[in-house]
Structure 1
Amino acid sequence: MKLMTKFIGPAITSFMVVFIVTAFVIWLNIGFSDDFLSRWIKSWLFGWPVATVSVVVFTPLATTITTYIGSTWIRDID
C-alpha cells in the first residue's frame, strides 16, 4: 500500500466520525447554546488529528483481531 493511501483513508474516515461524534457530545453537554458552534469546531479540530493517528496506529491490531475472530469464531454459512 502506498504511503499516501495508507493515510488518506483513515483521515477521511476519522474526519467524518469525529465531525459527528464531537457535535453529539457537545450537544449532550451544553445543548444548542450560543457558543455551540465555536466549541464544536474547536473540539473537532483537536479531535480529528488524534483520531487519524489512532486509526493509523491501531488498524493493524484491529485487522489481526478481525482475522482471528473471522477464522475461529465464525463458521461459514455456505
Structure 2
Amino acid sequence: MAKVVIYTSAWCPFCIRAKQLLGNKGVAFEEISVDGRADVRNAMSQKAGRTSVPQIWIDQTHVGGCDDLYALERAGRLDALLQG
C-alpha cells in the first residue's frame, strides 16, 4: 500500500471530503494540520506550489487537492496509485 500524506485544516470542507474518500477506501493516511502553524503551511506551499488545503501526496506523487483526488477516482486511476 502506498504512503498517503494529506495537509489539512480542521474547518475545511474539502479536507473533510478528501479524508472521507480515503477512509471509505480503507486507506491509512498521515494527516498534517496547518492550523495555526505558518511554518508547516509555508513548507506545504513550497512543496506543492499551492497555498490551499488539502494538499495530497501518494508516495512521491503530488495528487493536488480534493477535486484532483475525486477526478482520479472518477477516472478509475486512484486505486492503482494507492496500490503503489
TM-score (norm: length of structure 1): 0.27
Structure (1 or 2) with the greater helix fraction: 1
Structure (1 or 2) with the greater strand fraction: 2
TM-score (norm: length of structure 2): 0.26
